[in-house]
Structure 1
């Protein structure tokens, strides 16, 4: 079953993490997926990490889709405009846009705004917000040419959670909450064209960076729970990938227009599972266990 056969997707920011997981699962559902990012086998970004867009495209191919890697800095309007022109020239359509560009991991500072580096803070905002706006500006004229187009804004946290909780620092809080508001705004602008915009968040995701932080690999990730028992609620990047693929394959996806949802919520609604056969519900766990200081216990949350 490949429900997205014939569909064209752009995953902006697909070098690693959620973007890579989403690209692979869209490919597994049959889509042609343009995967973009700054790191290629010939050139690394400021992250200076080994993952590349070519690797992501190959994983999309291995999953059964068609992966096309294009090096793009989504802060550069000319590069984004050229990307969309290429998609239109090669495919003639765009059905799914996933705005996943982030790039702010190395810019985080858990300090008050008066102690926070302005340079790092504003860089974080540009990477998290400007990239999404620039990409939507150029991509949406192509996407709205066909009904049932889908825009997914990837963020950290749901609107319900972020409205009630301070997220690490003022800059980080603004970055992630702004993306949720962006989806709400796009929902209004896309509705007349019968297209849909949704904000989606993973839970505690086992990205390449997170696995490295804990000194484990995906194969033995549970070893990290010895030092951090709450890590037992974590999920692979494929989980949010399957969430986005489920949305993209739903002919009634417009029911989600403007909403902010988690991978765990969508797993229950669409009945999909993570690689280990579980359905981790991280955000409910965060509220009911971690935030209130209870000892780690994931049995009823996976």
Structure 2
């Protein structure tokens, strides 16, 4: 039997990209995976990229898990709380929460030439607001809603998808500040959750071959890139580790986890 059969995960922002890869990585291990997103079948897509939450849910099921799609705009606290409540009402538990939704990337598809936002003083304040509302705040609100179920069970795993941008100064002010806040959010949550048996980590993927990255592949060196499913296998490895609390409060990287747990990138 796959090790995550009977376990329940909630992956925020899984219509495509890293979120979808994480959902499929958990599906490989038999988990029931609830996936949220704004891109739903039959509705006007919020971005020009492919993928819907229903398609992700169907792939989860086809890979041996159980996929459930939830339409949710995580900029709306009420929608976020309702999504968590649905998972708890239907499944009775949340074993893994992955906070993957992010904002502030709108210039990739809203037609803004990148050179027009080369400095933070040239960017509309909405870029900052999007990074902190759809990202940091939504991570916090979702965790607040999900943690009581984990604490009651005495176990659980929270993963914030972050990046090395939190540690650098050349990735943009709003992006870097929001990612650093995401990492510190995890460190503080881990401090309070450790005694309840709940682990919390920040996960740094490498360069991931998401739909948006592949769209710009002619401008990017993909030599050392990784697939979204590789990121998913990293989360699945953490989720199946009975001693995962040794990682709590830490930044963990996909490549380091691959070396530790022995999973590979399917390419």
Report if TM-score (shorter chain) is over 0.5.
yes
Match of 1:140 among 134, 139, 147: 147
Q: Give the superposed CA RMSD.
A: 1.7
The whole-number CA distance in structure 2 between the counterparts of 1:67 and 1:104 is 28
Matched residue SS, 1:231:
coil
Matched residue SS, 1:43:
coil
- CA deviations on 1:138-197 (whole Å, 9 max, x unpaired) are 11112222122000000122xxx743x214211111121111111111101211211100
State yes or no: 1:46 paired with 2:46. Answer: yes
Shift of 1:119: 2.2
**1:101 aligned residue:** 101
**1:282 aligned residue:** none
Shift of 1:90: 1.0
The whole-number CA distance in structure 2 between the counterparts of 1:127 and 1:80 is 11
- CA deviations on 1:47-104 (whole Å, 9 max, x unpaired) are 2433100011011011100000000111212112222221122111111100001143
**1:207 aligned residue:** 210
Which is higher, the Rg of structure 1 or of structure 2? 1
State yes or no: 1:56 paired with 2:56. Answer: yes
Shift of 1:45: 4.5
TM-score computed with the length of structure 2 as normaliser: 0.92
- CA deviations on 1:241-280 (whole Å, 9 max, x unpaired) are 000000000000000000001100100010110014xxxx
Match of 2:123 among 92, 116, 121: 116
Q: Kindly report which structure 2 residues correspond to 1:222-237, keeping only aligned pairs within 5 A, or say none.
A: 228=220, 230-237=221-228
Question: How many residues are matched?
Answer: 260
Q: Kindly report which structure 2 residues correspond to 1:1-302, keeping only aligned pairs within 5 A, or say none.
A: 1-107=1-107, 111-157=118-164, 162-163=166-167, 165-214=168-217, 228=220, 230-276=221-267
TM-score computed with the length of structure 1 as normaliser: 0.82
Matched residue SS, 1:197:
strand
The whole-number CA distance in structure 2 between the counterparts of 1:167 and 1:182 is 22
Q: Which runs of 5+ in 1 are unaligned?
A: 215-223, 277-302
